[in-house]
Amino acid sequence: MIIYYKQIKRLLNLFQTGGFPKIKIIRALLVVIVLNLMFGCFFYLAEHKVQPDLTFADAIWWGIVTMTTVGYGDFYAQTVWGRFVISYACMLIGIGLIGYVIGFFAEFFLDVISKTKRGLMKILEENHLLICNYPGENKVIEVVQEIRSIPEYKKSPIILITENLDEMPDSLKAIKLQFVHGNPMNEDVLHKANILKCAGVFILANQASKPDPDERSFAVGTIIELIESEHGVPIKTIVEVEHQKNLKLIKRSSVNSMISNDGVTSRLLAHEFNYPGIYDIIQQLLDSDEGSQFHIQPTRLVGQRVVDIQMEIIKHPTRMQVVGIIKNGRKILNPSKEQKIDAGDRLILLADHISDFKEIENALLNR
């Protein structure tokens, strides 16, 4: 029932936002109803004497069945007037009018499909994810696959916003990506993607863009933060930074977080040369489908020492380690065992299932 409700709601929203000419179709439907009643009345007047069991409701039923050319045959004209005047006129007028209405709906839906392919439709989804910019087909597919490997976002709708595509490629359709055509630096385009009801935004570095990709990302991030401030709606935003030197620039846009590949490859090459296998370890840590991953977890363990938390984790059957603490925005990796947790601190944990931490937390709190 929930699935049917969502489909009906989506269809109604489509009529509201898809440029559906309501007045035109309402007039056509009213004409159909009036003609149905009129032909039903004439049929009843012409036939009720020779068909004593015929009711007015039966005549109305005959009218709609005849107009739509269904022709069940449960009621039919037996008089000359009923056959050659009323039935004849009902069929001719009905076929034309019903055909017009059906054709009208068909034309509307074909237009919606065409606009959807070209990214011209307003997004009606909620709790969806937005990807701004199009650095290339393979990069977008890779990002979408990584997002969907996270259980929380496995079924979340994902919408791509770019002016670099005229129509969605088949490879992106295959991963069920939706599309909004336009420049993400345009506020109207962001609202078209229903940004106020999204779960988050990924701003990718578009190497081929003008201006500089980081300047473009800064502009998009700033506009999103202004929308967030104006409407009082938190919008989680992460930015891919092309050049590490521009991290300060992007930080000024007040986005939630950012990452940069600049320099990372060089460091990995050196570490992999010195300690072969380092790259595989990092890959596994970033893989949501295999092994343990890093988690940043708020905690109620105020006043507890890191060593106390570690000892409780050792007793628990789950695989988990305290890797660090985030204190006043500063990230402290491998903290001192005597380090105490203050209010607002967050733990950096390496774990298979972060949900197990609640049991450990409760055990320490209940002592």
Which domains does the chain show, CATH number per domain? 2-117 (1.10.287.70), 129-260 (3.40.50.720), 292-365 (3.30.70.1450)
Q: How buried is residue 314: exposed, middle or buried, by Cβ count under 10 Å (0-12/13-18/19+)?
A: exposed
Residue 38 and residue 89 in contact, taking contact as beta carbons nearer than 8 Å: no
Residue 241 and residue 214 in contact, taking contact as beta carbons nearer than 8 Å: yes
217 vs 130: CA distance, rounded Å? 14
Q: Mean of the pLDDT values across residues 22-26?
A: 72
- Is pTM beyond 0.75? Reply is no
The two structure tokens encoding residue 337: 């065992």
The larger pLDDT score, comparing residue 12 to residue 153, is at 153
Q: What is the pLDDT of residues 102-127, one digit of tens each?
A: 777 777 777 777 777 788 888 888 89
pLDDT band with cut points at 50, 70 and 90 for residue 288: low
Residue 182 and residue 120 in contact, taking contact as beta carbons nearer than 8 Å: no
